[in-house]
């Protein structure tokens, strides 16, 4: 069965629930315009949180789907600084999470850490070059004193 939602974007607050796979030939996007956001805080994930995240192969226990899926767990991410990317429930209903939001936050956090390490590495390399030059000058001076 196939549906076409040409005017779905014109309906503000519309929700689309899909049981099964959702396939798009274009992009699946959500609003992210800064002009419509009141920023409450900036989020960053500790790199150890990212490194320790469970990446699992699993089968759903509540559906007739024998396929092995790849993912993580909403409960893990709920206990991190990215808990806003998880929608828990107080009953036995399925917890959901925004994989895209969590992936973006993780990617940016890792990128910031890499940039920080590169900046620090550049400083160390410059200091090393300075001390190598200084060492060579001292070695030359020592050799000159030995000749005298």
Which two three-digit tokens encode residue 47?
């790199």
pLDDT of residue 2: 52
Residue located via tokens 């960053």: 44
pLDDT of residue 95: 86
CA pair distance 146, 140, nearest whole angstrom? 10
Residues 25-55: tens digit of each pLDDT: 887 777 788 898 898 888 888 899 999 999 9
Model pTM?
0.67
CB atoms within 10 A of CB 44: 15
Residue 18 neighbours by CB under 8 Å, 6+ apart: none
CB atoms within 10 A of CB 70: 8
Residues 73-105: tens digit of each pLDDT: 999 998 888 888 888 877 778 888 888 888 998
In this predicted structure, the answer to whether residue 8 has a pLDDT above a threshold of 60 is no
3-state SS assignment for residue 96: strand
């Amino acid at each position: 069965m196939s549906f076409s939602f040409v005017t779905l974007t014109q309906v503000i607050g519309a929700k689309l629930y899909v049981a099964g796979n959702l396939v798009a030939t274009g992009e699946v996007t959500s609003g992210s315009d800064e002009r419509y956001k009141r920023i409450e805080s900036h989020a960053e994930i500790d790199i150890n949180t990212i490194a320790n995240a469970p990446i699992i192969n699993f089968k759903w226990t509540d559906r007739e789907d024998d396929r092995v899926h790849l993912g993580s767990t909403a409960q893990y991410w709920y206990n991190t600084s990215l808990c806003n990317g998880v929608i828990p429930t107080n009953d036995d209903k399925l917890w959901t999470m925004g994989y895209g939001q969590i992936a973006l936050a993780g990617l940016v956090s890792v990128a910031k850490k890499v940039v920080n390490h590169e900046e620090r590495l550049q400083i160390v390399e410059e200091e090393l070059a300075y001390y190598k030059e200084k060492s060579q000058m001292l070695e030359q001076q020592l050799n000159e004193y030995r000749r005298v």
